[in-house]
Structure 1
């Protein structure tokens, strides 16, 4: 299998190259080789698909820039079909950036603004794991159990922050579920 992975790496298969390591006497600063490394599958941390056929990094970057410009338009003027197609097309470039350089969220939001809208978030989760993201209504049934856990944690800085969230949640209108869901986002946890 090692020889097979070496051949795949030389052929340009990125999934294998991201996990491979070559340290030797001639290259002592290289990353350490890893034993028993398999090719990552969908949903795994280092899943790194190849570029679509007839596409290069430059052409995908041009599509990304077009998508960013399209997303800057007002909500009514956006061509969401075009944005969906370009997000699907540039998935491999996005995964390469995330896996190899692990950019901060602010930089990721600046480079891929469409990724942070709700429909694209669901689609991206599906692209990575090949499963649908559970809806909020399915997660709401765990809210009461989570609140009990949060109330028990009272010590330390994290406990203080959790108490702020629980207090803000209890002050919300229980009939307005979207307000209750956004409590952690609106609470200042500095």
Structure 2
């Protein structure tokens, strides 16, 4: 397997090369071994794929700039079909930046604003892991919700305890067969249990603004 990966690295397969990063007699200028870079796990698609056929860094950068122009428009005027197509094609460029440069979130958001829209967040997760983010998230949430709610009931002291009590009182008034109410209680209680400011974690908007909010608009 080691020889096979070496051959792939020499052939220019970026996923192998960046995760190896080893100096050797044949690669004296190579970086030291990468201990802080995630390796692909079984079941994942290529973590750092090569550029699509017919594309290079310049053409992908052009696509990125076109997406930036779309996000200067109002949410209603954006061509989200074009954005989705460009996000698919520029995935290798984006992964290359993230894996090799590890840019701050603020810089990543400035360069790739579409990545922070709900639809593209789901899409990126699938491109990396070949799994559905929504399904994985809600499956884990539903599995752990009973234990979380029990923990919340024990949080009774301090200002956060009062807020938690109010949350649980509101939940007790809901239909226990309503899975949305149960999930909402489990999620809303997490920052309170951890004594965090929930306004930093959760964003709210009016119903008529929800579509724009999902596409990257500002929540009210």
CA distance in 2, matches of 1:104, 1:62: 22
Query: Using a 3 Å threshold, how does the CA distance of structure 1 residues 93 and 150 change in structure 2: closer, same or farther?
Result: farther
Structure 2: 5+ residue stretches without partners: 175-179, 192-196, 202-220
Q: Counterparts in 2 of 1:47-62, with a 5 A limit?
A: 47-62=47-62
Structure 1: 5+ residue stretches without partners: 155-159
Instruction: Tell me the CA shift for residue 16 of structure 1.
Output: 1.2
Which protein has greater RCO, CA pairs closer than 8 Å, 6+ apart? 2
SS in 1 for 2:17: helix
- Identify the residue that residue 43 of structure 1 maps to in structure 2: 44
- Identify the residue that residue 157 of structure 1 maps to in structure 2: none
Are 1:70 and 2:70 counterparts?
Answer: yes
TM (normalized to structure 1)? 0.71
- Identify the residue that residue 147 of structure 2 maps to in structure 1: 145
- Identify the residue that residue 6 of structure 1 maps to in structure 2: 6
Partners of 2:21 and 2:31 within 8 A in 1: yes
Aligned pair count reads 177
Partners of 1:168 and 1:187 within 8 A in 2: no
TM (normalized to structure 2)? 0.63
CA distance in 2, matches of 1:167, 1:93: 48
CA distance in 2, matches of 1:5, 1:106: 35
Query: Using a 3 Å threshold, how does the CA distance of structure 1 residues 132 and 80 change in structure 2: closer, same or farther?
Result: same
The two structures, once aligned, show a CA RMSD in angstroms of 3.8
Partners of 2:21 and 2:30 within 8 A in 1: no
Instruction: Tell me the CA shift for residue 186 of structure 1.
Output: 3.6
Instruction: Tell me the CA shift for residue 133 of structure 1.
Output: 1.6
